[in-house]
Amino acid sequence: MITVITLSSKHSWALIFNASILALAVVSIIGVVIGQVIFEFVPEEVIAIAAGLLFLVFGILIIVLPEKEEKVEERPLASRLGVFGSTFALMAIMELGDKTQLSIIALSAEYGEPWLILTGAVLAFAAVTLVGVLIGSEIGKRVPERYIKLGGAAVFIAFGLIFLVQALLGLQFF
């Protein structure tokens, strides 16, 4: 989000939005493919427990680890690739192996619905990115980062608990 806000403050929001969404869609496709491979070869109960634990760990790490500073150094890369290409490359590299991609892998492995997971992920990325390029800087000025961080942690922990309850008690909420 910080990268999108920073880049859109210097360049066309539409250009940054399109490059970011394309990068996030590519990374999501990679995550869905990995998740589908796991879905085919790993028992469902193991996947559900692993997904629940993964989400819990992400939620806890959001709370206990300091926020990493995302520095945007676009000049050397931008001069070779242009703004669109450098934004695409930056966003794709930052998201590879990130919590969101690992979440997509876990969800795809858990539910075995690659098109639904991919569609949901890309739509969510589009919504979040649009907020980032249009009003993200205003939100950042008005809402303390601590609350944004705690809200994100709460979402991960809630989904982790839901996945674990489903797996361990045989319940099906989703």
Residue 174 lies in a domain: no
Mean pLDDT of 119-147: 79
The range of the structural domain enclosing residue 105 comes to: 2-169
User: Which tens digits make up the pLDDT trace of 2-57?
Assistant: 677 767 777 778 888 999 999 999 999 999 999 888 888 888 788 778 878 887 88
Residue 106 lies in a domain: yes
Residue 101 lies in a domain: yes
Q: How many domains does the chain have?
A: 1
The 8-class DSSP code of residue 11 comes to S
Residue 45 lies in a domain: yes
| pLDDT at site 74 | 46
| pLDDT at site 72 | 46
Mean pLDDT of 110-138: 85
User: Which tens digits make up the pLDDT trace of 54-91?
Assistant: 878 878 887 887 765 545 444 554 555 687 888 888 78
Does position 147 have pLDDT exceeding 60, yes or no? yes
Residue 145 lies in a domain: yes
DSSP assignment of 22-66 equals HHHHHHHHHHHHHHHHHHHHS-HHHHHHHHHHHHHHHHHHHHHSP
The 8-class DSSP code of residue 98 comes to S
Does position 150 have pLDDT exceeding 90, yes or no? no
101 within 8 A of 28, measured Cβ to Cβ: yes
Residue 164 lies in a domain: yes
Buried b (16+ CB within 10 A) or exposed e, 77-89: bbeeeebbebbbb
Residue 52 lies in a domain: yes
Which of the listed ranges 45-49, 115-119, 130-134, 149-153 does the model predict with the highest average pLDDT?
A: 115-119
Residue 58 lies in a domain: yes
**Cα 146 to Cα 13, 63, 150, distances in angstroms:** 26, 9, 6
